[in-house]
Structure 1
């Protein structure tokens, strides 16, 4: 990260301070914009295929996660022992969902993507758009796989399990005291998937990622004390929390299920976000790592070409040109070693 700061600092002409001055403050914002214009816009049309090709293995893993999630949804969960004395906490009424299942991908995936597109239209940064979408999908799908894996392994009955198992209200048990359900098989199967809450984990995975993204873009932690920025950051988290509360109100989950689901989704969202973006409190937290790497590489190439052109134009300065050539060879050797995995 220190090399990245030095590269950006030299590109800014020395106006950048790595201690407490944001990258885009009032003093160097205009100069940075001019540098971006000189480098040219990296849009979906110009660099989209290249960026996607670089992360082709990540997209393949996403498809694998989708396949695993489908399998986890199809297989049966563990049908744990449910005795008559346990039915006291499982007799809540069977209600419909306040937040339907189809609505979860709408606000947890599509809504953040719309915001990513708005940011892209303003900045024309394909790295930010691609990595935000990729990170969001990883956040949601990894959370979904973990959630459903735990659901199937635990098999905890939902609070409304009694009416799922005995829709006519007549409970029947075997000689060991375990339930003998005579309700709809799919309804009973869903009744054994209480822990953790899928609605809640998906909500915090998608909206938690969005909250981190927004906090970086608006520089919520830039030490200026604008508390109003936090309202925008907390808004997605508030909505996700209300979704979790609705799961308890609908008697589809116990409060422990909701708490565990929210914690799971938020942790996974944080890990996936930090894979592509600096922490929101970082001075470079407004952009993805790949964007700053691109600026460094382009700046280094530009300086090298300019220096080489200057050497050809002024052959009398042979000693300086030799030193520049050696430095360029060392830089190329270092890059080759990094790419080959020796460093």
Structure 2
């Protein structure tokens, strides 16, 4: 009978008010939109650990000459920004700022995607930087260049020819880490990590302060761009310590900045949007399932139904979405 069939279906299907229905609804609305991100992190972290422990234990040792002035700089025993302080400046400090901001203006979805994006930005940068730093096992001529202070690290044997290419076997430095770290010049890990953490914080503040909107305020712009300045100072310190040359620092900075921008842009609209301070909904509407489709839709909206923002004096400030 039709009535009995519907009665049987109602028994088999959990109602929306039941415990099972509540769990399914929470999973679909709160957890499922982030499942791909957490699965990606669960894949990246073990791979990164394996790379560190089992595969990329030592870099490729490119041959060098003692009369090469590019690697004759002194070895700085005390760095301007050691690794511990790098983790504090570019990791802990931005995390605390994001945490305070998220709880001060608490919105569950916004807090979740902000902190999740920050973690993804740092972990992906670490993974990609280490992969690039050790890819010389495949492309030996592209990376694996010696650091500017390689000869000071090497401490070559007396009588070593100065005008011939030699290998690391001519080095006498007993400190294994200091010696072999001299071939890990490309790219700059400090620069990439700094721009990944502090860059993400800057992009977040730029969106929260809506700096492309009219009369955003100079102080907001300065505060939002200050993390970029901090990241740049960390990158410059690698040149002052003779740990890297300009090319290493630039590539590392661009790498970290690109990753932080990509992760931030995945969850937040463009800065020209009026809603740039709020993340995308957890469940996307039909037809806008990917980041690239969302960006394309915003560009089409700007072209079709946008407006130019001007100051009181008539100066052009940007284009925003209606």
1:154-169 matches, cutoff 5 A: 154-166=143-155
> Equivalent residue for 2:129?
147
1:124 to 106, 127, 137: 106
CA distance in 1, matches of 2:153, 2:229: 31
1:1-343 matches, cutoff 5 A: 51-52=30-31, 54-74=33-53, 75=56, 76-86=58-68, 88-95=69-76, 96-152=78-134, 153=136, 154-166=143-155, 170=158, 172=160, 177-179=165-167, 180-183=170-173, 184-290=175-281
- Length-normalised TM-score, structure 2: 0.70
Structure with greater helix percent: 1
CA 1:100–1:171: 2 relative to 1, 3 Å:
farther
> Alpha-carbon deviations, 1:237-288, whole Å to 9, x = none?
0000010111111111111111111111111111111111112221110011
Q: Which residues of structure 1 form unaligned runs of 5+?
A: 1-46, 297-333, 339-343
> Alpha-carbon deviations, 1:205-232, whole Å to 9, x = none?
1111110100111111112252222101
**Aligned-pair RMSD on alpha carbons?**
2.7
Whether the 8 Å contact between 1:72 and 1:145 is mirrored in structure 2 is no
CA distance in 2, matches of 1:161, 1:78: 14
Question: Aligned-pair distance for 1:54?
Answer: 4.1
Q: Which residues of structure 2 form unaligned runs of 5+?
A: 1-25, 137-142, 290-322
> Equivalent residue for 1:307?
none
Number of residue pairs matched by the alignment: 249
> Alpha-carbon deviations, 1:49-77, whole Å to 9, x = none?
96345423422321322233333334122
CA distance in 1, matches of 2:81, 2:185: 16
CA distance in 2, matches of 1:278, 1:216: 8
From the CA coordinates, give the structure whose radius of gyration is larger.
1
Whether the 8 Å contact between 2:66 and 2:163 is mirrored in structure 1 is no
- Length-normalised TM-score, structure 1: 0.66
